[in-house]
Structure 1
């Protein structure tokens, strides 16, 4: 087996780093600081980072085919013009729940955006339960609600054949699968793929590799776990020097590097001393697997 190496590469000190996306055209890593209200763009070639501030918490950012990005800010899905730092609201969700916010989001292989919401956090990972939903938005900005009564809408990705949608509602402690219709975006037949074990923490962000296996960041678990969805078995576990691992994506040369974000919000002084790298972003190399290119929103 390859020699796995974990290194801290982006010392951004995020309160809650989330939603990393590798932007192939720019050879950059996109990610957000949810509570810090920032979208970051980092180049591993130059080690330079650019940032844009948002007016509210920002749950995700994804590339847009027509240029720029789409992000989830507060309860609004917005278009982001990076050069001017201008943000234009496209749609608003959960209008009847003003304390809700958008969390993780990702684009399916046809260019449709899926994004979820969650209720107000009293403390990190302690929320008003059942307040969230899972939505999709098509290129013409049509919004469809697919799930209700979600606690913390989190990781999402698709199988290689696009027929299965993998989804995480963190407080359920499971990674779930649905049958997926890429033409309509409809989901059905929910089932559990993997239930996290004691000590593994809460399932958070997720990525699927080129072999169709899942990589799940475990919040309060200090690790990323690799799951074979066909068998429901954890194949391997990669430990990180921080407990609040939040999300992951593949990037770099040939998509052979795994980037992992983390959070520092909610750590006490003792925990901060023990985890000086909390909130930073890590690169895992030597896994011997590759990821897939990210999809861009078609609108």
Structure 2
């Protein structure tokens, strides 16, 4: 009798599984899909850190392994390259002629005309065997930047903020690969990605103090879609995530955890994205040419380039770093 019940139960489970797969395929078929096209041809090793400077109408992005800060002007199709002293994880706008860049020993202030840089926030003690990776500024102008271990050891990285007074604060510990980070338009929620977890987490966020609380998972991403990397947010507070090993940027609804739409990209490893253009209606996408098989290299000859797409929605203005110098 027990054997009969177990067999019946097994058959029911198989039927339920097949039914779920059919429903999943139906859901996938309903998802709007667009294809990104080439914006700028370049063979970046590890393109990352896309952010739109709405004041200058330029796309800032980095090539981590190439040790380069890039400034792409879509109007002129020119891409200015500034060499950095070490691997560069991300960049945020600062002043008209300066940006903050995250390097291996900390955050540097870089002159965008000369390319010269000076150490702004020393983080050597915080980064043994590690380097800084992705990050952005919050609505109050603090710089949130995370780290990752060079050997990608689990739990060896952290997420930090650099306040407007240039004070370093650790916000989240035991991270593995700190990546995408954004804030909602009401300044009450922060979303954050630690790539190997395949999740997007939400935190209650206090814009006045920079405190975060109530950590919870809002999106669980199946590995079949790839691994979540860089992230941006649109005016509807929906999340756009570059998918490493996923050939796409995916738009997620953090309220439901569901996929809303997909941008297919002719590159295997999609790393970050940012809304740009005068109306913030063009999604610019960075990619990498590393970590691909010979077959993938042949299939995706444009890997490492910058891509773009009219997504159908608008983004929001990027936040700049705001420095409050102490009064004498």
Tell me by how many angstroms 1:251 deviates: 0.3
Residue in structure 2 matching 1:11, options 33, 41, 56: 41
SS at the partner of 1:188?
A: strand
1:124 matched residue in structure 2: none
Tell me by how many angstroms 1:200 deviates: 0.7
Cα offsets for 1:30-68 (capped at 9, x unmatched): 100001000000111110111100111000011104641
Instruction: Say if 2:197 is the partner of 1:172.
Output: yes
In the alignment, the residues of structure 1 paired with residue 34 and residue 50 of structure 2 have an alpha-carbon distance, to the nearest angstrom, of 20
Instruction: Say if 2:241 is the partner of 1:216.
Output: yes
2:315 matched residue in structure 1: 291
User: CA contact under 8 A between 1:66 and 1:298: conserved in structure 2?
Assistant: no
Matches within 5 A, 1:1-299: 4-65=34-95, 67-93=97-123, 95=125, 97-121=127-151, 127-285=152-310, 287-299=311-323
Q: TM-score, normalised by structure 1?
A: 0.94
In the alignment, the residues of structure 1 paired with residue 295 and residue 89 of structure 2 have an alpha-carbon distance, to the nearest angstrom, of 28
In the alignment, the residues of structure 1 paired with residue 92 and residue 223 of structure 2 have an alpha-carbon distance, to the nearest angstrom, of 33
Q: TM-score, normalised by structure 2?
A: 0.86
Structure 1 or 2: more helix by fraction = 2
User: CA contact under 8 A between 2:35 and 2:264: conserved in structure 1?
Assistant: no
Q: Identify unmatched segments of 5+ residues in structure 1.
A: 122-126
User: CA contact under 8 A between 2:33 and 2:261: conserved in structure 1?
Assistant: no
Q: Which runs of 4+ in 1 moved over 2 A?
A: 1-5
**Which of the two has higher C-alpha Rg?**
2
Q: Identify unmatched segments of 5+ residues in structure 2.
A: 1-30, 324-328
Tell me by how many angstroms 1:160 deviates: 1.2
User: CA contact under 8 A between 1:79 and 1:88: conserved in structure 2?
Assistant: yes
Distance of aligned partners of 1:227 and 1:197 in 2 relative to their CA distance in 1, 3 Å threshold: same
Structure 1 or 2: more strand by fraction = 1
Tell me by how many angstroms 1:5 deviates: 4.7
In the alignment, the residues of structure 2 paired with residue 3 and residue 253 of structure 1 have an alpha-carbon distance, to the nearest angstrom, of 24
In the alignment, the residues of structure 2 paired with residue 2 and residue 135 of structure 1 have an alpha-carbon distance, to the nearest angstrom, of 36
Tell me by how many angstroms 1:7 deviates: 0.8
RMSD of equivalent CA atoms:
1.5
